[in-house]
Amino acid sequence: MGSTPCSGKGRGVGSFQELGCMPWKVSKQKGEAAGGGCVPESYEALNARVTPPPQQPPAIYHEKQHRELCALHALNNVFQDGAAFSREALQDIYQRLSPSTLVTPHKKSMLGNGNYDVNVIMAALQTRGYEAVWWDKRRDVSSIALANVTGFILNVPSNLRWGPLRLPLKRQHWIGVREVGGVYYNLDSKLRNPHPIGTADELRKFLRHQLRGKNCELLLVVPEEVEVHQTWRTDNA
């Protein structure tokens, strides 16, 4: 008692009926397909239901360690620009600074190999209209107005290496920290990749942890007008 097979008379070879398919017919009244079918979604409606692809992480400039040029790397990483400062520019600043202006006893290189002290960093920032605010470690970092700070440069003890070997000696090392795409990153030039710190609250925890260590100093990198009006402080009255 099965259905009667199609005879194929009056139909061309390869027609819809021979393939067991029915041609799509749309009702003129309600736009419904004849026989109870569904009208295909429009291109716009279909796109509206498509889940957008995940947002790509922001591009982060991360300058790696070369010789003893950590001050140069920290500056360029904070400015997210490999052309912001050069070794030649820092060496020129170093040579122009007289010994009477130097406030720290850090070793400086006469050959341009790096290991520049805070005086060179401060003078370099001034050439771009920025200032370095030396953070008083007796204050809590909760009073930093993060929105007015371009970035941070920390001076921390770091292990010396001889090739792949870590030596039982430490030397002061400059690292840069800044916000990129809403996330704060540790841009230490000795790291293989930028290390995400996280939100503003997590940044403050990171800074507190670093400042509790021995021989750690913090510089706030701010525009000149921020330094003049002291708006890097939330408690500025």
Q: Which residues are catalytic?
A: 70, 173, 188
Residue 34 CB burial class (10 angstroms; 0-12, 13-18, ≥19): exposed
Beta strands in the chain (DSSP E): 130-134, 151-162, 165-180, 183-186, 195-198, 217-223
Alpha-carbon gap, residue 214 to 186, rounded angstroms: 19
Cα atoms in the Cβ-side hemisphere of radius 13 Å centred on 2: 3
Cα–Cα–Cα angle for 174, 175, 176, rounded to 5 degrees: 130
Cα–Cα–Cα angle for 228, 156, 208, rounded to 5 degrees: 70
- Amino acid found at 32: E
**Tokens coding 117:** 């002290």
Residue 150 CB burial class (10 angstroms; 0-12, 13-18, ≥19): middle
